[in-house]
Chains A and B, each alone.
Chain A
């Protein structure tokens, strides 16, 4: 089982962003790293100056680097950015919107979690066009994941395994809206919330996170308890989505559990203090509401035994 570090979804300061990737390159036990701004086209220019050194450092460390395409492409600027990405030399694109599928046909590429790959027929269609890796939509449950992986044994099927889960994308910017700004004059207020703006219900329950035009969960997906089931089902990579926490240590915990150096329960105990701000959830994989945490089979078994 491989580990993939997904793209940074939040608007981090360019220096923080660069240093984050430098440390990933130097220390994180991940095979693949996705770079590039996929959420908001207005943010991209800030990272461009650091992108070459980040990519060089990752490549020098032996990481496979993928360039994520924008999730929602509608403005002329966004179409241009997407076309430029597909035309760049020596770049492997992770497609997050089907806008660039045709221009990448026949060239190796990856399909990202924002493309609706809900079944084996759709996955097979993408593979015929040159997709070598497919990160499945986070809302898929285990039987669907297993059916897709079983149908495509030669493809790296990947599952979203750690981080606040992306739930929706809009043409409208909610950071701008809560700050009473227009989208075109947003002053990049999303940078004030490097881990997303917490949205609570009126009675104070943790609910969602706003990240500009994107809505994420408040809970943090954690599939550590299911990694061996996922491997058994033919899943070949797990995606760790960057949060404002020690992602190197998160990757090490996943690696240790995958390698059998520690058991899942021990790994979950180790993860909790690394990211104390968000409760864990794994509901989507277990076909229950996504915010929920399925009762662990192991603990159920032990309850029965006593």
Chain B
């Protein structure tokens, strides 16, 4: 098959493509702001999900460890930020000081979860991580007594937005005739972080560590025989995935200004897993695609299904939320049945799954 875009032989085409994408991403918030600032906010949350999915992809996609409690690290990062920059304890540390702390705390939790579960095989690990996620949520819900650490189910309010000196990300500002509202500023910040983390992921994948993860995923015994310290590698995957989750959580906290344990329920973990699986485990671009799709589809549903039902039946029959969850459920099942390597499969996964099909 002759490829439509022969990227291998014409690097110029690649750069042109990159330029188009970059330009689109730079202009996007202003275009979206025309429809409504809500859509800029939605895009911001979509980027947060991309960050989360990329973090989980390290654990699930690269190292092959199914983690069903990933949202716990997001929660840890979010709460770390919230507690260190809100009136709750009266602490107002700057974000560049908190984000590393949040990342470290999340990494610590990653190792805490990883260390006892290293010996476990895939499906056991999935359940234990799920349990871990629930434990974290139960603690967040109940640690308001006897000492009020987390403020329980009410959550933490009045969280500081990001600010650098006098420059606050929450304020609206006009610059060169363009109005930069709070969400638009956050968009650019998130975009920068996302590009950084993407670059990190791409570099990581083909690095010594990335190849070691792949070896562990394919055959742990063989990997150990090749001199890979599998224990270290798995712990590292957990810690790194957790770190990304923690950073995303901290940003979520600042953007939202309010967090409660409700944001970190099991469904959220499953949602992030769905993104990774749908897009293609282990393929960075696939994961990005999965995250973008699954964060926008429900919003589009919310804007179309509800008015449509009101027009057709006069009232709402099926909540968009239910449709969204049903779509996730069916997507997980159908993808596994018909396209087990995801929408954009990683090269290795594709080969591996094809081989398994032959054996069947």
User: Do these two chains interact?
Assistant: no
- B residues with a Cβ closer than 8 A to A are none
Which residues of A approach B to under 8 Å, CB–CB?
Answer: none
